Amino acid sequence: MTEKIQLPPARYEYGGDEFVFVELDQAMSLEANFAGMAVTNALREEAIEGVVDICPSNASYMVQVDPDRLDPRELVEELRRLESTVGTLPDDYVLKTRVVDVPVLFNDPWTHETLMRFRDRHQDPEATDLEYAARINGFDSVQGVIDAMTSAPWIVTMLGFVPGLPFCYQLVPRDRQIQVPKYVRPRTDTPERTFGFGGAFAVVYPVRGAGGYQMFGMAPAPVFDLSQSLPDFADDISFPNANDVLRYRAIDMAEFESTRSEVESGTFRYRIREVEFEPASLLADPDAVNRELLEVLYR
Amino acid sequence: MSELLVRAGGLYTTVQDTGRFGYYHMGMPPSGAMDVYSAVVANMLVGNPDGAGVLEGTYVGPTLEFTDDRVVAVTGADVPVTVNDEPVEPWTAIRVGPGDVLGFAMIRAGCRVYVAVSGGIDVPVYLGSRSTYTLTGIGGHQGRKLVDDETLPLGSGDGSARPGAVVPEELRPELAGPAELRTVIGLCSYRLTEDALASFLGTDWKVTKDADRVGYRLRGGKLDFTDREQPFGAGSDPANVVDLGYPVGSIQVPGGDEPIVLLNDAVTGGGYATIGTVISVDRDRIAQTKTGDVVRFTSVDLDTALAARRDRRERIERVRREIAR
């Protein structure tokens, strides 16, 4: 990677009596996310009585406590200890996760219909969201920005906003990150399974609803399934997990429709491969590690 | 199994308990009774476990008809309560029988009423809780608010209810006057100027009409953010930060002029700077404010927040002793 990003000391804050919020950096970086991953993974393994939930976020994390069982100050002491022992991932740290193929139909008719209804809330009412993103990121064409988003995989750096929504950050150096602003004023409507983009984050909207991210396309497969009818949702109503590596793959309408019918008949399964990689190697040579990740996924 | 007939659903009545925990990391808020104290005390009055399913009514309570012998209690907002159109006392365990109808008049103070029935509202437990989360339509009664002319399942009581038991006045919440919300300032409060932070604490904020289980939007002042070059990934608006987790009770100020206090059904994270968190006990208090009411924020430290929590627990135990007499 171009230049290793040095993180400032973590900032510990009490979110009232029930939450501890830890800011690792004000700016987004893989380094900040990996630091949060190291501490939250270690904390999870300790299974401390009174820790209600552990919520990794992009460049921060949050722990929900039951203050009747665990004094938040004791938790902060433990988090500081973890910061000093595992807070920066050692070079030989191996992340065990899974890499998943996530098909996306870019320029789909449904998000196109929606974005046309909300042009008055957009930075560039004359262009589509993808055309705008291509232009402000210095691509000659919409295909250029699609190629950039689909060539390297992404890592789930946070789940939230609404149940099952994955915030994904691409596994490339900062100077190759695509960035777009959110809508000037949020929309009141976003189709379910919209592939959206805001800041440096790609998301798939789990359910229909309000939203401010740019709309680039639509995923045929769900990330959230209340009925738990698909095999990938047997254990959980939400598919993505923090640290999952997702490869967004551009598909055509024919594949979109065939995947939709698999989803509707209850037979769809994501292509998932167990994978291990060293975050330190990724930071040192992202292209090589990304090639390996994709090689494992499509082997 | 016995049923409770919902003759009228009221304005916004949902089944709630003390909340659904362990799913915040995937983006699911706890839901649960907004005024925990009133919900727990209502359950105690009818001999239920503290976390049994209750009904939470908003502004206009439901009209309920009983189909068997039960004990019912109403707590929370100050509102005239009737059984068969005859006034009955709130904060009191009342014996009812088949055909008896519980009704409400207009709320005098507060915002949310809690109705506990001996045996509890026995909707299915979903992910460990009976609480309704309407955004994704899960939990509670079919994941939604009650409508007119439907039925709710009731559990079987264990006969421990003591009809006539009363919660003494001094153990009922204070609902009059501006709501003082004790707040732990912090999180991303560095985004506000010193003047803005002082102004935030010194302002009488008015509850707007956008005030529900998701959050309360307030109006009454303007808060300035400090100038900075926005960090990578944060977005261009001065109120933006790199998307992060929002504690329940946290306060954000998207446009600088409308603070939002996030509550039980809120989004779990997002890209707006949070400036502090209302302490858990005082979520009970904001839950009893309504459009037009005034709220003020007071800066407190964690010790005060924890002490307030202990106080509430002691009050709950005092109620338990009073009822057991």
| Average pLDDT of chain A to the nearest whole number | 94
CA distance B247 to chain A (A): 6
Which pLDDT band, with edges at 50, 70 and 90, does A89 fall under? confident
CA distance B149 to B139: 20
Looking at the domain assignment, is residue A256 inside a domain? Answer: yes
Question: What pLDDT, on the 0 to 100 scale, is given for residue B246?
Answer: 97
Question: What pLDDT, on the 0 to 100 scale, is given for residue A3?
Answer: 62
Question: What pLDDT, on the 0 to 100 scale, is given for residue A1?
Answer: 45
pLDDT of B91 above 90: yes
Residue B67 amino acid letter: T
Q: Are both A56 and A107 inside the same structural domain?
A: no
Q: Considering its fold, how many domains does chain A have in total?
A: 2
Asked if B243 has any chain A CB less than 8 Å from its own CB, the reply is yes
Question: pLDDT tens, A196-213?
Answer: 999 999 999 999 988 889
Asked if A176 has any chain B CB less than 8 Å from its own CB, the reply is no
Token pair 């949902």 is found at B14
CA distance B255 to B58: 28
Q: Are both A259 and A169 inside the same structural domain?
A: yes
Looking at the domain assignment, is residue A243 inside a domain? Answer: yes
Are A16 and B249 inside 8 Å of each other by CB? yes
Looking at the domain assignment, is residue A1 inside a domain? Answer: no
CA distance A229 to B31: 25
Q: Say whether B52 sits in a helix, a strand or coil.
A: coil
Question: pLDDT tens, A220-232?
Answer: 999 999 889 999 9
Of A14, A28, A165, Cβ closest to residue B184:
A14
Cβ within 8 Å of B, A 139-168 = 158-165, 167
Q: Are both A59 and A108 inside the same structural domain?
A: no
CA distance A231 to chain B (A): 19
Asked if B102 has any chain A CB less than 8 Å from its own CB, the reply is no
Q: Are both A178 and A289 inside the same structural domain?
A: yes
Q: Are both A146 and A53 inside the same structural domain?
A: no
pLDDT of B1 above 80: no
Of A57, A68, A226, Cβ closest to residue B243:
A57
Q: Are both A160 and A62 inside the same structural domain?
A: no
Mean pLDDT of all residues in A133-162: 96
Q: Are both A66 and A111 inside the same structural domain?
A: no
Q: Are both A51 and A145 inside the same structural domain?
A: no
Cα dist from B208 to B26, B188, B287, whole Å: 30, 24, 14
Q: Residue A188 sits in which domain range?
A: 96-298
**Helix or strand (DSSP H, E) at B214:** none
Q: Are both A23 and A128 inside the same structural domain?
A: no
Looking at the domain assignment, is residue A154 inside a domain? Answer: yes
Q: Could you tell me the CATH superfamily of domain B179-308?
A: Cyclophilin-like (2.40.100.10)
Domain boundary among A86, A118, A135: A86
Would you give the distance in Å from CA A67 to the centre of its chain?
Answer: 30
| C-beta separation of B42 from B116 below 8 A | yes
Of A72, A73, A160, Cβ closest to residue B27:
A160
Q: Are both A127 and A192 inside the same structural domain?
A: yes
Question: What pTM, to 2 d.p., does this model score?
Answer: 0.94
Q: Are both A21 and A143 inside the same structural domain?
A: no
Secondary structure letter of residue B81 according to DSSP: E
Mean pLDDT of all residues in A51-59: 97
Q: Are both A126 and A217 inside the same structural domain?
A: yes
Question: CATH number, domain at A117?
Answer: 2.40.100.10
Looking at the domain assignment, is residue A2 inside a domain? Answer: no
Delimit the CATH 2.40.100.10 region(s) of chain B. Answer: 179-308
Token pair 């929606």 is found at A114
CA distance B30 to chain A (A): 11
| C-beta separation of A17 from B305 below 8 A | yes
B184 contacts in chain A (CB < 8 Å): 14-17
For B118-268, list the strands marked E by DSSP.
Answer: 150-154, 179-185, 205-211, 215-219, 240-245, 250-252, 260-262
CA distance A254 to chain B (A): 30
Number of C-alpha atoms within 13 angstroms, CB side, residue B115?
A: 31
CA distance A135 to B220: 40
Asked if A46 has any chain B CB less than 8 Å from its own CB, the reply is no
